[in-house]
C-alpha cells in the first residue's frame, strides 16, 4: 500500500521566519506538504529522526564559478554542486565567465544549461555576460532564462568578455 507521505522529518528544531520551532515536516512529491506535531511515522515511506538537529531552509549562493563546459578540471557542475550541497547550499547562480565559451551567446547558454542539467546535483541558475561584442545576443540570453547579466567596467582578462566603456554602456542595456 502506498504511504501518505514520501518523507517525514521528525523531532527537528525547524528554523522559521518567526523563530525556531520544534515540529515535524512532511514531504510529498518533493515539496513540503505540512508541519505537524507528533506526525505518525507509519504514514511515511521514509522517516528521518532530526532529534537534537537544526532543520533549516537550503541556502542560495548567488555568485559561483562553475567552469563547465570547457574547463571542468578547474571546477565542474558535479564537483561544484557536491561541495555546495555539503555546505547547505541547495541552489547556486553561476557567473558567466571562466567557462569556455563564456556565457555570452545563446549557443553558449544552451551548452551551459545542458552541462548543468546533466551534472549538477542541486538546482542552479545562470548569469549571462553583457559585453560590447554580444549586444545582439542580450534578448536571446534573457528569453533563454538567465537570472541576471554581468558586465565589466574594467578589463576582465578574457578576450571574449570585454569591458564596457561609458559610451557603450547605455546602448547594451
pLDDT of residue 57: 84
pLDDT of residue 95: 95
Looking at the fold, whether 94 and 168 belong to one and the same domain comes out as yes
The domain total for the chain is 2
Structural domain of 26:
5-55
Looking at the fold, whether 101 and 25 belong to one and the same domain comes out as no
* Mean pLDDT for the stretch of residues 118-135: 92
Average pLDDT, the chain: 90
Looking at the fold, whether 14 and 35 belong to one and the same domain comes out as yes
Q: Give the domain CATH number at 44.
A: 2.30.40.10
33: which DSSP letter? E
* Mean pLDDT for the stretch of residues 70-86: 93
Looking at the fold, whether 45 and 97 belong to one and the same domain comes out as no
Q: Give the pTM.
A: 0.74
Residues ≥6 apart with Cβ < 8 Å to 52: none
Q: Tell me if 101 sits within 8 A of 60, measured CB to CB.
A: no
Q: Give the domain CATH number at 117.
A: 3.20.20.140
* Mean pLDDT for the stretch of residues 21-27: 94
Instruction: Judge whether residue 82 has pLDDT over 50.
Output: yes
Looking at the fold, whether 113 and 168 belong to one and the same domain comes out as yes
How far is the C-alpha of 104 from the C-alpha of 134, rounded, in Å? Answer: 6
Higher pLDDT, 118 or 136: 118
pLDDT of residue 1: 63
Looking at the fold, whether 42 and 112 belong to one and the same domain comes out as no
Instruction: Judge whether residue 173 has pLDDT over 50.
Output: no
How far is the C-alpha of 121 from the C-alpha of 90, rounded, in Å? Answer: 9
**3-state secondary structure at position 47:** strand
Amino acid at each position: 500500500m502506498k504511504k501518505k507521505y514520501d518523507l517525514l522529518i521528525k523531532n527537528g528544531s525547524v528554523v522559521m521566519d518567526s523563530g525556531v520551532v520544534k515540529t515535524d515536516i512532511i514531504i510529498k512529491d518533493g515539496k513540503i506538504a505540512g508541519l505537524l506535531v507528533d506526525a505518525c511515522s507509519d504514514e511515511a515511506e521514509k522517516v528521518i529522526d532530526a532529534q537534537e538537529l537544526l532543520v533549516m531552509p537550503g541556502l542560495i549562493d548567488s555568485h559561483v564559478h562553475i567552469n563547465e563546459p570547457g574547463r571542468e578540471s578547474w571546477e565542474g557542475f558535479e564537483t561544484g554542486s557536491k561541495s555546495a550541497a555539503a555546505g547547505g547550499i541547495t541552489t547556486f547562480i553561476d557567473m558567466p565567465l571562466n567557462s569556455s565559451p563564456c556565457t555570452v551567446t545563446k549557443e553558449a547558454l544552451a551548452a551551459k544549461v545542458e552541462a548543468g542539467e546533466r551534472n549538477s546535483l542541486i538546482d542552479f541558475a545562470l548569469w549571462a555576460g553583457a559585453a560590447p561584442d554580444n549586444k545582439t545576443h542580450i534578448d536571446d540570453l534573457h528569453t533563454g532564462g538567465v537570472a541576471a547579466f554581468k558586465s565589466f567596467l574594467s578589463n576582465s582578462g578574457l578576450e571574449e568578455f570585454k569591458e564596457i566603456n561609458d559610451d557603450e554602456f547605455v546602448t547594451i542595456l
